[in-house]
Amino acid sequence: MRALVVGAGSMGSWFARLLSERGWEVDLLDVSYERALRASKEIGGRAVKEPSSSYGLALIAVPIRETPKAIMEHHERAEVVVEISSVKSGVVGLIRKAELENVLSIHPLFGPGLEDPGEGKAVLVPVRDPERELRVAKSLFPFKFLVKDVASHDRAMAWLAVSHAVLNAFLASTEDVSDSLDEMSTTTVRALLTLAGASLTQSPSLTEELIKENPFFQQEFSRFLGELSRFSEDPTSVINRVRRWRSLLNADRCYKALYKMLREL
């Protein structure tokens, strides 16, 4: 079985390794042949400058803006094409308009640091036939799959972009007191700094794409800013409106987990 992975970045390389471990012969294609070559040496695949005309699988792991072009360029090369973009509105719209029958749209809800693929969770956004597409996705990957429509997925993912906005804005606004804040941080602030530090591993270009390509971002960001403004005037009223999360989150357990996480750092 031969697979083509288009994009040798962190997630493309992660998937290339996974496919290789699952018995696929993997070709890696990237705009930078040197990057594909480095990745191929690590995973045991091969870097290619020109892909073959026939693959069992083509996996598209390129920037969101480049995903539609990559799908159109490579969909005829493979029996199954899987794209893993984190914003689906434009991509799925293109697949449907072009009436492509062999393209799956999934979104891994994890990063390249995941060590056990069986612990990974991913969203399948159906293009045409949810049952068939889910069956094919499960045959290819060991993930736990959720099935969501385009709007539900993209609205939820808008909050991924909001979270990065919050974390980076927190770091930027505390830049001039960073030494003092680092030295005197409370448990909650230390946890926030840990999350913010982790967010710095994401490339600025991906963060920008998450914001600009998601049609729900401005709506959800405005909702957040509205609550933030109300919090500055009447924090109790905002805290008291948090009802659904109180049933979904065990506050005591979260606090204990927070301490455990910080001890292990």
Which sequence spans correspond to the domains of the chain? 2-148, 152-264
Residue 262 has pLDDT above 90, yes or no: no
Q: What are phi and psi of 98, to 5 degrees?
A: -80, -5
**Which percentage of the chain shows pLDDT scores above 70?**
100
| pLDDT score at 220 | 97
Spatial CA neighbour of 4 closest among 80, 113, 105, 66: 80
Per DSSP, helices labelled H in the chain are 10-21, 33-43, 67-74, 89-97, 130-140, 150-173, 178-183, 187-199, 204-212, 217-233, 235-240, 244-248, 251-264
76-90, 146-160, 245-259 — which is least confidently predicted?
A: 245-259
Tell me, what's the pLDDT at 44? 81
Q: Is 94 left (phi over 0), alpha (psi -120 to 50) or beta?
A: alpha
pLDDT digits (tens, 9 = 90+) for 59-98: 999 999 999 999 999 999 999 999 999 999 999 999 999 9
* Cβ 122 vs Cβ 114: under 8 Å: no
Class (C level, CATH) for 2-148: alpha beta
pLDDT digits (tens, 9 = 90+) for 159-169: 999 999 999 99
The mean pLDDT of 4-26, rounded to a whole number, is 96
Vertex 195: Cα angle to 190 and 200 (nearest 5): 120
- Return the pLDDT at 263: 86
How many residues in total does the chain contain? Answer: 265
Under the phi-then-psi rule, with left for phi > 0, alpha for psi from -120 to 50, and beta for the rest, what region is 99?
left
Alpha-carbon distance 184 to 66, whole Å? 44
* pLDDT band at residue 192 using 50, 70 and 90 as cut-offs: very high
Mean pLDDT score, 209-217? 96
Per DSSP, the three-state class of 93 is: helix
Query: Is the pLDDT at 265 greater than 80, yes or no?
Result: no
Q: Which of 65, 142, 66, 77 has its CA nearest to residue 103?
A: 77
Mean pLDDT along residues 101-130? 96
Choice among 45-54, 94-103, 253-262 with the minimum mean pLDDT: 253-262
Residues 147 and 126: beta-carbon distance below 8 Å: yes
- Pair of tokens at residue 18: 């996974």
Query: Which of the four pLDDT bands, split at 50, 70 and 90, describes residue 133?
Result: very high
Please provide the average confidence, as pLDDT, over all residues in the chain.
95
Do residues 125 and 88 touch, judged by C-beta distance below 8 A? yes
Indicate the pLDDT class of residue 141, thresholds 50, 70 and 90: very high
